[in-house]
Amino acid sequence: MEKTGRIIKSISGFYDVFDNESETIIRTRARGNFRKRKIKPVVGDKVTFDATGDLGYILEILPRENSLVRPPIANVDQAIVVTSSAQPNFSSNLLDKILINLEHNKIEPVIYLTKADLLTDEQYQQLKKDLLGYHQADYLVFDDRDSYNDEQIAKLEETFADKVTVFTGQSGAGKSTLLNHIDTELGLATAEISQTLNRGKHTTRQVSLFNIADGLVADTPGFSSIDLMDISAEELPTLYPEFLDYSGGCQFRGCRHVNEPGCAVKEALSEGKIMQSRYDNYLYFLNEINSYKKRY
């Protein structure tokens, strides 16, 4: 009998599938022809499966909305970008790089500031001012001084409903601590990872999805691949939501917002409607993408 569901865990060739109809978890294997077709099911995949015997079989992987390689996960709706204020210091360049990668993968970003308590009042007020541009670009930003207060965590959890959520951010930004405040089981999973990594073994980390606040949350502290190899110079300006607000008014279609006359984005920039650091990072990334082209 053919059913539909979503893979929530993979363990050495077995896949635990959440059955949409019975709302139970069925252990399955992938049919042999997947290997021939070089298709590997991953956590987050929506599948059709047959569950007549003790062990079900995955019949087909339904089209993916997106997929990440590290960690291997598909159909991600939202990423919590954990952004450190200090130790390591706030980096708008890294934050923007993560944001454009998420936009490219059609994953909705949420910015979550940590370690703001390490800043002086003056530094914190300045950083809040710097983050205004992200509010202007319509990103959801959590930037309380006390990063892990119950009220803010509860508000964050409200964003989980009916979504698959992953966490990302630079090393040491406090992802594990945040996961711990959300659910200790997730925290335990991340502690295991760091112990394994410290032993220097390259063990593949199995990703699982946990049911939290009516959504599914990956127990992995983020993905690591942050380069711009897959992004073209044509696509880059479309990955800035605030550029899209104005680019319809540009004189030329396909305007790159660099030296073209009649550029509405540069006009908005000069009027302070677009944040200078976001635009500077945009030029930096454009340069990086063009240099890839020359190299290959």
174 is in an annotated binding site: yes
What residues contact 108, with CB distance under 8 A and at least 6 apart? 77, 78, 79, 102
Structure tokens of 167?
A: 């966490």
Largest CA distance in the chain: 67
Q: Is 177 annotated as a binding residue?
A: yes
Tell me: is residue 175 an annotated ligand-binding position. Answer: yes
Q: Which residue stretches of 32-168 are H helix?
A: 33-36, 92-104, 121-136, 150-158
Does residue 219 have a known ligand-binding role? Answer: no
The reply, when asked if residue 10 is annotated as ligand binding, is no
Residue 189: count other Cβ atoms within 10 Å of its Cβ. 21
Q: Is 257 annotated as a binding residue?
A: yes
Q: Is 200 annotated as a binding residue?
A: no
171 among annotated binding-site residues: yes
Residue 114 is assigned to a ligand binding site: yes
How far apart, in whole angstroms, are the C-alpha atoms of residue 35 and residue 58?
A: 12
Q: Which of 177, 160, 170 is nearest to 117 (CA)?
A: 177
133 marked as binding residue:
no
Judge whether 46 is annotated as a binding position: no
Residue ranges of the binding site for GTP: 114-117, 169-177
Residue ranges of the binding site: 114-117, 169-177, 250, 255, 257, 263
Residue ranges of the binding site for Zn(2+): 250, 255, 257, 263
